[in-house]
A = this chain, B = another copy of it.
Amino acid sequence: MSEANIYNKQYLMTAGPTPLPPGVSQVMAEPIAYHRAPAFVEVYGRALERLREVFQTSNQVLSFAASGTGAMESAVANLAVPGEPVAVAAAGKFGERWKELCDAFGAEVAYLDVPWGEKIEPAALEQLIGSMERPPRAVFATQSETSTGVVHDVRGLTAAAHAHDAVICIDAISGLGAIDLPQDEWGVDVVVSGSQKSLMCPPGLAFCSAGERAVALAAEGPGSHYYFDWQRTAKGQAEDPPSSAFTPAVTLWRALDVALGQILQEGLPEVFERHAILAGAARAGIAALGLERFGSEDDGANAVTAAALPDSIDGAKLPKLMRDTYGVTVAGGQGRLKGKIVRIAHCGYYGAFDIVVALSAFELALRDLGWDVEPGSGAGAAQRVFADAGRAPEPVG
């Protein structure tokens, strides 16, 4: 591969920011609206209702202008209390973030530190909580761990927390809208998410759906917060018409309204099924290339598929080569997985040929680095999955 032979067209294949549907991109170029004017309030109110549908909840989905971490901070700032116990179960970079947040807010953290790539066992969480001297005010865990691709058993983890009467907060930033998480049906107390992953929007909006019990717990706690205060935000959103406590990111709300409309037009079950087909194709492709998947062998890990790189491949080079030579931007590993994995994302506005493109570029880059790959073998395996799927795994929009 010579330096001069560079592929021009660019493909975004990361787990956030994810590609935007054309209608989502275009609505952001329209004239900007005043946030108190009826034209915007209508968009805001409709998007808030649509969020409820996508979160599968009757809660207010509290919304903030922030990165996804802002939604996590809102959960910790409203629930954790300095010197009081909480529990955190983590098996990756984003699980660790819960601990960092709880530490920053002075909580006493009981920590279940599961090796990256493994699934968190609900029984292990239950044991941890049971062993605590004082019961935790709240338990924090992750649905789709973006750093490893692993999807944790939210239903089981919720049951483990509830067995000890604790509220649980789930980071669903990359998984919400890709993998089923019926919040009210499963009784998950708090679900947080962000705009820039499966919700097919740019980054900058953060969401926190908190149930009655969590809201009551937050109301009794002190705590140092204002911008991320649940009560202040809930009060504005509950008004008729709804209003935002602080100037909302109006451009991103226009985008969100369009994107959620497309998700609901496709239908949540169809959206989850599409992600399952795309993930199955990515897994088949990786296997056909003679590579191992990184992380637990789980059919439900449908937001991101991680391929473990063989020792003979320079893992720092591979994503760079895919991006700089072939124009296909995928993510490598983060933190302790740096250089060891490549992550192919399929959460959000992804369809069949996105997986074909990602695998095709992966094949070419692997060949460049000396891995024995028959061109088309990975993509071909993915195509066979699509041919057998009985439906086109394509998003609306």
Task: List residues of chain A with CB under 8 Å of any chain B CB.
Answer: 10, 12, 14, 16-20, 25-26, 28-37, 39, 64-70, 73, 76-77, 82, 100-101, 104-106, 194, 196, 202-204, 222-229, 246-252, 323, 329, 331
Contacts and interface: CB of A to CB of B under 8 A. Distances in A.
Contacts of A203: 35, 65, 247-251
Nearest to A12: B34
Contacts of A222: 106
A109 to B, nearest CB: 13
B32 A29 contact: no
A71 to B, nearest CB: 9
A226 B33 contact: no
A262 B358 CA distance: 38
B28 A29 contact: yes
Nearest to A18: B32
B33 A246 contact: no
A224 B69 contact: no
A247 B16 contact: yes
Contact of A323 (B37, B65, B204): B37
Q: In the complex this chain forms, how many copies of it are found?
A: 2
Residue among A30, A68, A247 facing the most chain B CB atoms (10 A cut-off): A247
Given A20-B32, A31-B10, A224 B225 contact: yes
A33 B12 contact: yes
Given A28-B251, A65-B204, A67-B227, 15 more contacts: A10-B39, A12-B33, A12-B34, A17-B34, A20-B32, A25-B28, A34-B331, A65-B65, A66-B66, A67-B246, A67-B249, A68-B246, A68-B247, A82-B224, A104-B229
A65 to B, nearest CB: 5
B69 A246 contact: yes
Contacts of A20: 31-32
A266 to B, nearest CB: 20
B251 A204 contact: yes
A106 B105 CA distance: 14
Given A77-B224, A224-B223, A329 B29 contact: no
7 contacts: A25-B29, A28-B28, A32-B202, A69-B247, A70-B227, A223-B224, A249-B249
B25 A26 contact: no
Nearest to A224: B224
A34 B13 CA distance: 9
**Which of A39, A194, A246 gathers most chain B CB within 10 Å?**
A246
